[in-house]
Amino acid sequence: MARPTLIVYCGLPGVGKSVASGYTADHLPAERYRSDEVRKRLFPDPSYTDAETDATYEELLEQARASLEAGTNVVLDATFQSKRYREQAAEIARATDAAVAFVRVTCDLEIVRERIDARTDTISDATFEQHLQLRESFDSLEREHLVVDNSGSLEETYRQIDRAVL
């Protein structure tokens, strides 16, 4: 059986992780697990406490582990702002003998503001103010990783993913 791959998309709210992770999951192909969906399933009216966040990542990573153990490629979509959660994802890849890649999605600040303000039907509750707060507390990404700049058109983002990730 071929070795499965775990691709971890991380970055601040509103930068376009869901667009990038969705494209990747469709083209790899892979199962995609999104922290926003997991959180809403566990906590229908979330308050975004540390305990909720821990439970969300625990469930997200358990879903990834189960799919990787079954030999399925996995794409994770979450801020992964904490080094601790990124280390847990890397450990799951090691434990399941999966290849792993971390991808940080970035985007120009004014474009993030426009995109968050324009959201109408999204599972994410993140506001621009939360983006700014998390910007200050995002643990540096000290491990090897790829960067996708989602400041331009979707086609430009997809080309970056095609070249760097797929």
Which pLDDT tens digit goes with each residue over 69-94? 999 999 999 999 999 999 999 999 99
For the chain, give every domain's residue range. Answer: 5-164
What is the dihedral sign for C-alpha 53, 106, 150, 27?
Answer: negative
- Say whether domain 5-164 belongs to CATH 3.40.50.300: yes
* pTM, to two decimals: 0.94
- Sheet of 31-34, strands arranged across: 31-34, 74-77, 5-10, 99-106, 146-149
Which pLDDT tens digit goes with each residue over 91-141? 999 999 999 999 999 999 999 999 898 877 667 888 898 889 889 899 999
